[in-house]
Structure 1
Amino acid sequence: MSPVIQLLAAGRTFRQGEAEYAALLPATVTIARGQYVAVTGASGSGKSTLLNLVTGVDRASQGSVIVNGTALETLGEGALARFRGATVGIVFQFFELIPTLTALDNVILAMDLVGVVPAKGRRARALSLLAEVGLGDQAFRPPGRLSGGEQQRVAIARALANDPPLLVADEPTGNLDRANGDRVAALFDRCVAQGRTVVVATHERGGLDRYHRVLRIEDGQLAEVGA
């Protein structure tokens, strides 16, 4: 299996006044295509920092981050944004849907911004994705008229809009009840079954048996559980 994610001694430090602190100590890890990976750790341990490096939202202070064969540090901001839009689907804990748009238009907008999907096929693809996440009958509702679980499923449909090989989710069930959390987790299971690489940051210690691999971060140090 070819790697989708490679961290090569990649780390991230931040400066606070005269001091520097390491949010993520230099780490080397490879995640293959089709793997389902959990990133665990307490709040503030470095989970979001790791995801930000993988998605190109932030840049490594040292080392290299390679996603789908491209070293992110070699890309300018514009190229990085285009690469991210086409290659990485991001699911946020707080959904981040545009409240003035319908569920359908939120998904279509993701395609409009990247341009990978031909314009004439975007509406049909958005409707198909919403149906796939069980919201075909809610396509024309704005986020404010959807439950939290429904909004998260719209966010997943949006993340899949450009058919990315990599899906990254930051605490995606943290604001959901157990029933909706299980429904969202089942959607991620399906994405893996379809051949996507899925990386999920979670503070939960239970339910980790569904993942192929579990990475844990403690005080910025990344290690594989069971390695």
Structure 2
Amino acid sequence: MSPVIQLLAAGRTFRQGPDEYAALRPATVTIDRGQYVAVTGASGSGKSTLLNLITGVDRASQGSVRVNGTALEMLGEGALARFRGASIGIVFQFFELIPTLTALDNVVLAMDLVGTVPPRARRARALALLSDMGLANHVFRPPGRLSGGEQQRVAIARALANDPPILVADEPTGNLDRANGERVTALFDRCVADGRTVIVATHERGGLDRYHRVLRVEDGQVMESGMAEGAP
């Protein structure tokens, strides 16, 4: 395996008045291509901050974050947005779909913003992704007419729109019932089987045996929990 993500003494601090708060202490972490990684920890532990550094949504205050060999801190905002759009699919905890667009248009827009998929192929690709998510009959519905589980599957289709090699999800099942949570988790399993690197932040204590590795975050410190028991 070759490393696809490297955090090299990367950390994030925020200023609160005269004081600095370490949301994530400097951490060195390497994630190999094709790995299925869980990030666990209590709410406020730093899980989301770790994911935001990996995806370039947030900038490291110190150290370096490298994705496919590219140092994210060396990219300007425009270049970073383009790189992220083509390289990393992000599934947000609260879906972050545009409420005035249909499910189909939400997925197409992700391709419009990046430009790697030819314009004439975008609609067909979006339809295929949504169909693969079991949403063929809901493509023209706006998010407000979809259930939570359906919205999350639209968000996953959007994250896969540009065929990124990396998928990052922030507590994607936290707001879903058990049946929809299991359905979404099965979709991530398939992404790993297809060869993607998948990183999932979760507060769940069970089901960790499906992951190759588990990273635990406590009080802003990242700790390697090793191979999950029974991991493939």
C-alpha separation between the residues in 1 aligned to 2:84 and 2:209? 29
Pairwise mapping of residues 39-118 of structure 1 onto structure 2 (< 5 A)? 39-118=39-118
2:216 corresponds to: 216
State how many pairs are aligned: 227
**Aligned-residue RMSD, C-alpha:** 0.8
C-alpha separation between the residues in 2 aligned to 1:44 and 1:7? 20
Structure 1 residue matching 2:48: 3-state secondary structure: helix
C-alpha separation between the residues in 2 aligned to 1:217 and 1:141? 38
Pairwise mapping of residues 7-22 of structure 1 onto structure 2 (< 5 A)? 7-22=7-22
Gaps of 5+ in 1: none
Structure 2 residue matching 1:94: 3-state secondary structure: coil
1:135 corresponds to: 135
| Residue 121 (structure 2) pairs with residue 121 (structure 1) | yes
Q: What percent of counterpart residues are identical?
A: 86
C-alpha separation between the residues in 1 aligned to 2:21 and 2:112? 39
2:148 corresponds to: 148
1:172 corresponds to: 172
How big is the shift at 1:100?
A: 1.0
How big is the shift at 1:226?
A: 3.5
How big is the shift at 1:144?
A: 1.0
How big is the shift at 1:132?
A: 1.0
Equivalent residue letter for 2:118: P
How big is the shift at 1:124?
A: 0.5
Structure 2 residue matching 1:129: 3-state secondary structure: helix
Q: Deviations over 1:47-105 (max 9, x none)?
A: 00000000101110111000111100000011001111111100011111111111100
1:158 corresponds to: 158
TM-score by length of 1: 0.98
Structure 1 residue matching 2:158: 3-state secondary structure: helix
2:203 corresponds to: 203
TM-score by length of 2: 0.96
Equivalent residue letter for 1:101: L
1:181 corresponds to: 181
Equivalent residue letter for 1:121: A
1:30 corresponds to: 30
Equivalent residue letter for 2:179: A
Gaps of 5+ in 2: 228-232
Structure 2 residue matching 1:225: 3-state secondary structure: strand
